[in-house]
Amino acid sequence: MRQDKSLISRSDPTRDLAFDILTGIFEHRRMLETTMDRSSIKAGRDRASAHRLAATVLRHYGSMTELLRPLLKKEPPVPVLCGLLMGVAQLRYLETPPHAAVSTVVALLRRRRLTPFAGLANAVLRRVAREGAELEAGLDHERLDIPPWLWSAWGDRARAIAAGLYQEAPLDIRLKPGIAPPMALPAGRDMSPETGDDTEDSTRDDLPRIAPRLLPNGSARYPAGTRVTLLDGFEEGQFWVQDAAAAMPVLLMGAVAGKNVIDLCAAPGGKTAQLASQGAHVTAVERDATRMRFLKENMKRLDLEVTCVQADAMTWRPKDKADMVLLDAPCSATGTFRRHPDVLWVKRPRDILSLTQQQDRLIDAAHEMLPPGGTMIYAVCSLQDEEGPDRVQAACARGWALHPFTEKEAGAMSFAVTASGCFRTHPGMWPEEGGLDGFFVARLKRI
The catalytic residue positions are: 381
Burial label for 48, CB within 10 Å (0-12, 13-18, 19+), is middle
Enter the DSSP assignment of 402.
Answer: E
Quickly count: other Cβ atoms within 10 Å of residue 218's Cβ: 13
Quickly count: other Cβ atoms within 10 Å of residue 110's Cβ: 16
Calpha distance 154→157 (Å, rounded): 5
* Cα 445 → chain centroid: 30
* Residue 375, helix vs strand vs coil: strand
Calpha distance 284→267 (Å, rounded): 8
Feature table: binding site: 265-271, 286, 312, 328
Residue 426 Cα distances to 37, 56, 161, 315, 341, angstroms = 28, 20, 6, 32, 14
Give every CB contact of residue 158 below 8 A, 6+ residues apart in sequence.
143, 146, 150, 151, 152
* Cα 272 → chain centroid: 19
Feature table: binding site for S-adenosyl-L-methionine: 265-271, 286, 312, 328
Residue 106 Cα distances to 58, 64, 123, 200, 352, angstroms = 20, 18, 10, 36, 39
Range list of β-strands (E), 161-306: 171-175, 213-214, 220-222, 239-241, 260-264, 281-286
Cα angle 329-293-20, degrees, rounded to a multiple of 5? 75
* Residue 272, helix vs strand vs coil: helix
Calpha distance 93→298 (Å, rounded): 37
Residue 318 Cα distances to 196, 242, 314, 366, angstroms = 48, 27, 12, 10
